[in-house]
Structure formats: structure tokens, C-alpha cells
Amino acid sequence: MALNTDRFLEDLHCLRSFGASGVGKGVIRPAFSAVDIAARRWLASRMAEADLDVHFDPIGNLFGVNGPKSLLIGSHSDSQPEGGWLDGALGVVAGLEIARAAKEAGGPPISVVNFQDEEGRFGILTGSDVWTGKISLAEADTLTDNDGLALGAVRARMSGRARDFLPHDMFHGFIEMHIEQGPGMDAAGTQIGVVSDIVGIREVRIRILGRQNHAGTTPMALRQDAFQALSEFNQRINARFAALATAATVWTLGYADISPNASSVVPGCAVFSLQWRDGDATRLDKMEQTVCEVAGEIARDLQVKVELGDIGGIAPAAMDARLKAALRDSAEALAPGKWLDLPSGALHDAANVAQVIPSAMLFVPSIGGISHAFDEDTKEADLVKGLEVLNRAALSL
């Protein structure tokens, strides 16, 4: 089948125009925002033009289906609050081009998927969490974003076109193409990465309640300062996690909200996120135990209340041996000496989909290892090489 690489690149740039940030090639396209929904409608129209059966499910996942049994290729088109143009978008548009080229050639049957809320505005990988049955739609509806909006309320914006959830057994395999999002491949000068496994994650929202008071009159010894408690929590977690970590273990306090956030008020409340990632579920458990211990110690030592929310997570996931072999063969044929096997430190829908369908992933390099930032980018030659390697592997499957 004849891939059309110009059409692939044009579609990729067109998708970027939905929520283009104006800074570099960045995008602002959070799940269920107006631009996210407009982008999904545009992608649906491209799928329909390719004679694929357009199917939105109740959580907002978009499929372009070719027949009762097919290979599924895709990723997600929602972005981080400040995101790059390729994170997720690349895998969706690659899936679209390969499914379209296969359709034009009269086979084999290939379908495309665009999962909703991969970036975790409401949960962690919410669209694929629901499609794979990890959480129910009713549970997902109760998840809230940083502004307290419930997913159940915002997904109503897309419900007009929703049909049922598609059965998993319509698809004999799933392949997700993605940018690496880290520095390894770029530094090594490689063009293609075949993912061995995807890291596991745990994440919790923590609320510290102190005593809001006057910043001029409240003696230091009498304060119950929620920000100081957050700061101390962070110090202790850094030390305790470092004692458990390998070189691959990472943790991030990426969201914090201090209230009332005024320079002359001792903060009464601090809400923040803590996430930790590792390929070993036992280490993730130990780190979780540490979070609970430190929370208790901070409450006792700083005279504050520490409330831990539900601890959510995704288990480490190994990729399917047969699909990996097809990707390796294809990489060796089209990029000899310029490919490698590597684990993924970023999360992907493939970690969920691997629980219900054989799944694999293909990476292309990220320039300078930058992602989840406006200046995320990949050389055009690498984008095209990734598409060609994935297409050849899809044919062989």
C-alpha cells in the first residue's frame, strides 16, 4: 500500500492548528476543551473521508473502524495545559494515514483510535481506563479537574455523537507510535525505538489544613502554616524516596495551590499532587507506604491536618513479544543500525490496552529530550521514518 507522507505531515500540522499556542509549535488542547472537541470532530471527518466507520464512545474516545476484525493503531489528541504538538497527535495521525492507505489499497483491515484524556485532566489515562474496564464510566464521572469540575458534566459536551463502547475483540492488536519524550534516543543518534515495557505510576492529591492567620501578629511558634508543612513534606519525601530509588525512579510535585495565596496571610490550606514512577510494582508499593508515613509525621510535627486523597495508579506493563518482533524486523529493514529497544518512562494508553489486547509501541526521538513543553519537537525525517517502520510492521502482521 502507498503511504502518502505529504498528506501525513499536512494532517499533523493541521491538527496543531487546533489550540496552537503561538509559542514555538506548542498547543493548548486539554481534554474536553472547545478546541479538543473541535479537533476530534475534524479527525472524525478525516476518518469518514477515508471511508472508515466513525465511532465516538461515551467517554469521548474516537475510533475510525475498518471492519469486524482489524489491527488498531493510535494514541491521543488531548494535550497537557502547556503541551507540544506531537505528544499523542503523532500516533493518531500516523494511525489515520496507515489505515487510510490500507483502505485505498484494498487491505489489510487497519483501524485508528484517538483516546480521550490521556493527559489526565480528570484521572490518569481516563479514556483508555474506561474503555479497557479499569474503571467504570460512573466512577470516571466523579473524577474532578484542578478547578473542581466533574468529568460527568464536561463529557456531556460530546455526548451528542456517542454510541456504545466497542468490544475489544474487534481488534487483534494495538500499536501506538509516540515521541520518546526523553533524551536517550536523541543523544544516541537513533531513529527508532521499540518499547520493551511501560513504567508504572502512582499519584495522590494531598490537602494540608493549617490555621489561616495574620502574617504580622502571629508568633512563629504559634503558627500552623500550611505552606511550611507542604515544604517540609517535600523535603522529607525527597530524602526518603532517594533512599528507595534506582536511577530510573522518578517523582514529581507538579501541582500546588496555596490558599488564600496572599503575602500578608499565613496560609491556611495547601493542596498539591505527588506522583512517583518506577518499573517495579514492589518499589511503587514501598514509596506509597512512605507517603502515608510522612503524611502522619507532618501532621504530628507541624500541628496540621494532612488528608490523603485516593491513590490512583497504572501498573508497569510489558509489551507483546510478537508485535515487538514485527517492529524490530521493520526497524532493521528500514533503519539498520539506527534503532534500539528501550523502556518508556512516560505513560501511554498502550499500558492500559495491553491488559485486553496484545499491544506494542514505537518511538521516534525528541529533540533535546523536551516534552510536555511548547518547544517539544522531532526532525521531520524521523517522523516519516517512524511512519514507514510502523506501516511495514502493520503489513507484516
Residue window 217-256: x/- pattern of binding to ligand GLV, with contact defined by CB under 6 A:
----------------------------------------
Nearer to Mn ion, 81 or 133 (CB): 81
CA dist 349 and 121 (Å) reads 14
| Minimum separation from the CB atom of position 183 to ligand GLV (A) | 15
Residue whose cell numbers read 517535600: 234
Q: Left (φ > 0), alpha (ψ -120 to 50) or beta: where does 267 sit?
A: beta
**Contact of residue 347 among ligand GLV, Mn ion, none (CB under 5-8 Å per partner type):** ligand GLV
Rounded CA separation 115/195 (Å): 19
How far is the C-alpha of 365 from the C-alpha of 13, rounded, in Å? 18
Cα–Cα dist 362/173, whole Å: 14
Measured CA to CA, the distance from residue 369 to residue 363 in angstroms comes to 12
CA distance 214 to 385: 61
Nine cell digits for residue 365: 526521538
Closer of 81 and 309 to ligand GLV (Cβ): 81
Nearest residue to 75 (alpha-carbon basis) of 53, 56, 99, 94: 94
Q: How far is 200 from 125, CA to CA, in rounded Å?
A: 12
Which partner in Mn ion, ligand GLV, none is near 28 (CB below 5 to 8 A by kind)? Answer: none
User: Which among ligand GLV, Mn ion, none contacts residue 232 (Cβ within 5 to 8 A by kind)?
Assistant: none
Question: Does 186 participate in binding Mn ion (rule CB under 5 A)?
Answer: no
Indicate the residue among 31 and 347 with the shorter CB distance to ligand GLV: 347
C-alpha grid cell for residue 249? 525512579
Residue closer to ligand GLV, measured from CB, 204 or 393: 204
Smallest gap from Cβ 49 to ligand GLV, in A, equals 29
Least distance between ligand GLV and beta carbon 195 (Å) = 13
Q: Does 88 bind Mn ion (CB under 5 A)?
A: yes
Q: Choosing among Mn ion, ligand GLV, none, which partner's interface includes residue 129 (Cβ < 5 to 8 Å by kind)?
A: none
**For the packed helices 226-244 and 281-302, what is the interaxial angle rounded to 10 degrees?**
150
Please work out the total of residues on this chain that contact ligand GLV, with binding judged by CB under 6 A: 3
C-alpha to C-alpha distances, 310 to 83, 197, 204, 240, 352, nearest whole angstrom:
26, 26, 6, 21, 19
Residue 91 binds: one of ligand GLV, Mn ion, none (C-beta under 5 to 8 A by kind): none
| Nearer to ligand GLV (CB atom), residue 119 or residue 197 | 119
Kindly tell me which of 224 and 378 has the beta carbon lying closer to Mn ion.
378
Write out the H or E segment, with its range, that includes residue 128.
Answer: helix 126-131
**x/- map, 105-134, ligand GLV, by CB under 6 A:** --------------x---------------
Closest approach of ligand GLV to the CB of residue 40, in Å: 18
CB of 119 to ligand GLV, least distance (A): 5
- Smallest distance, ligand GLV to C-beta of residue 91, A: 12
Q: Give counts: helices (H), strands (E), the chain.
A: 12, 17
Report the nearest approach of ligand GLV to the CB of residue 346 (Å).
4
Q: What is the C-alpha separation between 328 and 389, in angstroms, rounded?
A: 9
Q: What is the Cα–Cα distance from 20 to 85, expressed in whole angstroms? A: 8
87 binds Mn ion (CB under 5 A): yes
The binding track of 336-355 with respect to ligand GLV, each residue x by CB under 6 A or -, is ----------xx--------
Q: Which stretch binds Mn ion (CB under 5 A): 10-18, 79-87, 288-296, 382-390?
A: 79-87
E strands, 147-295, in order = 171-179, 192-198, 200-209, 213-214, 250-252, 256-259, 265-266, 269-278
Residue nearest to Mn ion (CB): 88
- Contact residues toward ligand GLV (CB under 6 A) are 119, 346-347
- Contact residues toward Mn ion (CB under 5 A) are 87-88
